[in-house]
Amino acid sequence: MADGKVKKGFGKYLLILILIIIAAFLITIVVMMFSPFKNVLGFQYLVYNIDDEVFQTANEETIDFTNVNEVIVNCNYASVTVARSLDVGADAVRIENSCKGFARSSDNTSFTYDIYYSNEGSILNIDVSEPDGFLFFDKQINISLLLPARDTYSFDNTKITVINTSGNVYIGNQTRLTDQEVTDIQCYINVNSIDVKTNSGIVYLYPFLDNNLNDLSIKSSSGRITNFLNEITISNAFEVHTDSSIINLNNVVYNGAQNIVFDINEGQLFADSVTGDIDLNISSGYLDMDSLTGSISANNSANQLDEARITINNIDGNLSLPFANSSRINLGTVAQGNQVYIDGFDCQVNIEELRGKAFIKTTSGNVNVHIYEDDLDIETTSGNINVTYECQAIEEQLDFKTDSGDINLRVLSNLAYQLFVYDGEGKLRDNSNIDIASMDGNFEIPVTVNGGTTPIMITSNAHIDISLIEL
């Protein structure tokens, strides 16, 4: 009985101790919140309520976007907006900070910004230093480059450069500034060039950004890139670099002298249509395009594909993937006069409508091709080869080679050719395990079909089936 009373008393005192600790903690929190930036037990509470419209630099020089070639914004987690505004009557930089949260006393919780000209006045710099902390209730800092809505200048000669880590970047107005269209109110901005470098920030190209750009360069490790423009025309340089971002493009027309650079790695890039030649670097990411007018190549041996997924519904240009490895390549229509070159070890290839030439090599991956023009060379080790050859005549020798994979070839019933079938040692095979729909089974290799002389060369130890497409 005595032991029970001791245990009950101990529990009561323990509960009281816990309540005292909680009360002390809450009192400390309240003291910190009512005394911002005060050191309390090695911690501090930070709070900001800043909304500054800046029209002059630190040296009291007027901010004038028309006289600068470039605006450079350096920050950390602040968001950056470039837009028109009805609220300003002159070029302005708006700085907003509503951060609230807790920080260690050793953290730098100061907030500073510096706006100044450099390079003989041709560059306007905006450097912002945000407060550090470990627990934020509000972590919103905005830097806005604002053009007056009634100003005719629209960044036509100005490059916008943004360098941050996690803040979002908004270029252009998302909606109209007024409900009704007013003649003297400008809605669009027409930026000369855009260069964004961010780690996890999201980049938005909004509808009221003019779609003609000189340069567009976006580098984002993991943030998304979203384009709300119906079409973008780029006249000089176009580069997208990411590690794992999701990139959404609509219609891109590129007229530059250099190739487009899509450095995707493990990211995902989706586009309606792209016009221009592309240098591709992709590891295990996704590339999905409805239409490509131009060539695409991933020829850098240092940046080999791993398990990429590449889908292009229509391509009018060459495709070169010499390091395809274990990727999955799905092509819709390949236009006439173009070439496809794919080399990988476990690469799966599907081409729905090939009207050009193709050389495809893989080890264990399957290859499926529907070809309407001439010249096709497919080689696998153990993968199956499935070809629908819907050409009226064979102008060039066709080559299909596999060690242990099956070969299924569908041809027009009136196609004229000479069929050669070899085993893995280079010897002509007999007719066993070979089915030719136009033959009754009594034939010898090589076999002549419809009096043809152009060869179809097959090397395989496995089953071979030649079936017909009836006219």
Residue 184 is encoded by which pair of tokens? 């003297």
- pLDDT exceeds cutoff 80 at 94: yes
DSSP secondary structure letters along 361-389: E-SS--EEEEESSS-EEEE-SSS-EEEEE
**Res 9: pLDDT:** 66
- pLDDT exceeds cutoff 90 at 7: no
What SS3 class is residue 32?
Answer: helix
Residue 340 is encoded by which pair of tokens? 């496809």
**Res 143: pLDDT:** 98
pLDDT in tens, 269-298: 999 999 999 999 999 999 999 999 999 999
- Give the list of residues 6+ apart from residue 58 with CB closer than 8 angstroms, or none: 114, 115, 116
Rg of the chain taking only CA atoms, in angstroms: 33
**Phi/psi at 16 (5° precision):** -65, -40
**Res 25: pLDDT:** 63
**Res 31: pLDDT:** 57
Specify the amino acid at residue 426. Answer: G
Looking at every residue in the chain, the average pLDDT score rounds to 91
Considering only CA atoms, which of 125, 112, 111, 128 is closest in space to residue 61? Answer: 125
**Res 61: pLDDT:** 96
- pLDDT exceeds cutoff 90 at 441: no
pLDDT in tens, 102-114: 899 899 999 999 9
